């Protein structure tokens, strides 16, 4: 990294948790990511989900065909774990380089998770094989018992599912995806091996008031849901100190406006477009710009045992705040961009 007060040159970042969907939406949203990221862990919760190595291979082909010529971007595929997942398929797909990880969605926890895992004990044999082969398990860490309050689901998941799983399979490498609570941050901080966590830009810059106070704002509704301010501060503390266990996963999750603004609107924030600019501004506001590169470009690669990107990304601090467009138009409808509700002066030098 080289830096002066108004310019910052860092290793080109990666996004360790990204939803790009498929077909027209994928074509429309992909450039928002490869403008600043070299690689991204691609979430498998399509309809139908990416459940086999063959599915992942064909999805990778569709992604590569959607990338404009001249653009460089490496999609890192994942498999969606179901109670029918075959350990051999997982291990083979990983060893052939088709996938980089497996995603665990507790059944019913979030968008398109109905094919996920209802009983974690049933997939322990697959998880044991993954542990043996050193394949990362990416976890959507929310309890699904409808009795549990939505704001408590992450903390309960850690106690009821994650901690027993870690005791059973201590060598399994796990990423707690999009952590949102001080319980999750401190759980990761107390573990010295085989555990990392992604954190999203929106959970770092906003709390639940923006979604609920003074009117309901469906574009801030995501899962795990935004939490209270004390949790946001715990996430900031985890992200900005240079701790290798924490890295960027935008969880950019585009939905057409019609699906967001509905009597039962769906969860997901489309934040890929200005994720790095927003984080640069946040880290700058907190006097932590020196640790931006670790969070967005280095720690995730270390966890996944991948080389750092050779390309660089230069950011500069403009005198005027970035004007962010409000929507992305696609052939099938509009998608509203994430608004961080703060001025962002950092910009990418194109």
- State the residues that interact with Zn ion by CB under 5 A: 251
C-beta of 230: minimal distance to ligand NCD in Å?
21
C-beta of 225: minimal distance to ligand NCD in Å?
8
Please give the helix or strand (H or E) that residue 148 lies within, else none: none
C-beta of 253: minimal distance to ligand NCD in Å?
3
C-beta of 347: minimal distance to Zn ion in Å?
26
C-beta of 110: minimal distance to Zn ion in Å?
7
Residues within the interface to ligand NCD (CB under 6 A)? 19, 45, 110-111, 140, 222-223, 251, 253, 267-268
Residue (12 or 140) nearer to ligand NCD, CB: 140
Question: Is the omega angle on the peptide bond into residue 129 within 30 degrees of 0, that is, cis?
Answer: no
Query: Residue 226 gets which letter from DSSP?
Result: P
| CB within 8 Å of 125: residues ≥ 6 apart | 87
Query: Residue 225 gets which letter from DSSP?
Result: P
Tokens of 13: 């970042």
C-beta of 222: minimal distance to ligand NCD in Å?
4
Q: Is there a catalytic annotation at residue 251?
A: yes
Residue (80 or 246) nearer to ligand NCD, CB: 80
| CB within 8 Å of 168: residues ≥ 6 apart | 124
Strand partners, 138: 103, 175
Residue (8 or 226) nearer to Zn ion, CB: 226
State whether residue 18 is helix, strand or coil. Answer: strand
* Cα–Cα distance measured from residue 281 to residue 291, given in angstroms and rounded to the nearest whole number: 12
Task: Write down the catalytic residue from 15, 55, 89, 251.
Answer: 251
Query: What count of other Cβ atoms lies within 10 Å of the Cβ of residue 262?
Result: 11
* Cα–Cα distance measured from residue 297 to residue 271, given in angstroms and rounded to the nearest whole number: 17
Contact in structure between 187 and 162 (CB atoms under 8 Å): yes
Cα 277 to Cα 42, 296, 335, 342, distances in angstroms: 21, 11, 20, 11
Contact in structure between 270 and 29 (CB atoms under 8 Å): yes
Residue 110 interacting partner from Zn ion, ligand NCD, none (CB closer than 5 to 8 Å by kind): ligand NCD
Catalytic residues: 251
């Amino acid at each position: 990294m080289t830096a002066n007060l108004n310019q910052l040159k860092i290793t080109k970042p990666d996004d360790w948790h990204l939803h790009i969907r498929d077909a027209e939406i994928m074509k429309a949203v992909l450039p928002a990511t490869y403008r600043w990221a070299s690689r991204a862990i691609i979430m498998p919760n399509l309809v139908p989900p990416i459940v086999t190595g063959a599915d992942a291979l064909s999805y990778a082909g569709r992604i590569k065909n959607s990338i404009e010529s001249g653009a460089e971007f490496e999609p890192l595929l994942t498999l969606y774990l179901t109670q029918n997942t075959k350990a051999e398929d997982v291990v083979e797909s990983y060893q052939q380089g088709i996938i980089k990880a497996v995603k665990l969605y507790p059944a019913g926890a979030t968008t398109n998770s109905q094919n996920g895992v209802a009983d974690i004990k049933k997939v322990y044999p697959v998880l044991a094989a993954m542990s043996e082969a050193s394949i990362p398990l990416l976890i959507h860490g929310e309890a699904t018992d409808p009795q549990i309050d939505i704001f408590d689901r992450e903390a309960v998941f850690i106690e009821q599912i994650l901690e027993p799983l870690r005791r059973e399979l201590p060598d399994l490498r796990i990423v707690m995806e999009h952590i949102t609570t001080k319980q999750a941050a401190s759980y990761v901080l107390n573990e010295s091996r085989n555990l990392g966590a992604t954190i999203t830009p929106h959970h770092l810059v906003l709390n639940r008031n923006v979604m609920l106070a003074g009117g309901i704002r469906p574009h801030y509704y995501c899962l795990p849901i935004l939490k209270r301010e004390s949790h946001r501060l715990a996430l900031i503390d985890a992200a900005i100190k240079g701790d290798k266990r924490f890295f960027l996963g935008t969880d950019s999750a585009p939905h057409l406006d019609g699906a967001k603004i509905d009597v039962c609107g769906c969860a997901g924030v489309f934040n890929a477009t200005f994720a790095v600019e927003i984080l640069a501004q946040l880290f700058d506001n907190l006097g932590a710009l020196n640790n931006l590169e670790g969070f967005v470009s280095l720690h995730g690669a270390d966890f996944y045992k991948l080389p750092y990107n050779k390309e660089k990304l230069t950011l500069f601090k403009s005198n005027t705040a970035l004007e962010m467009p409000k929507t992305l138009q696609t052939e099938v409808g509009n998608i509203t961009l994430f608004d961080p509700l703060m001025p962002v002066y950092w910009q990418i030098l194109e």
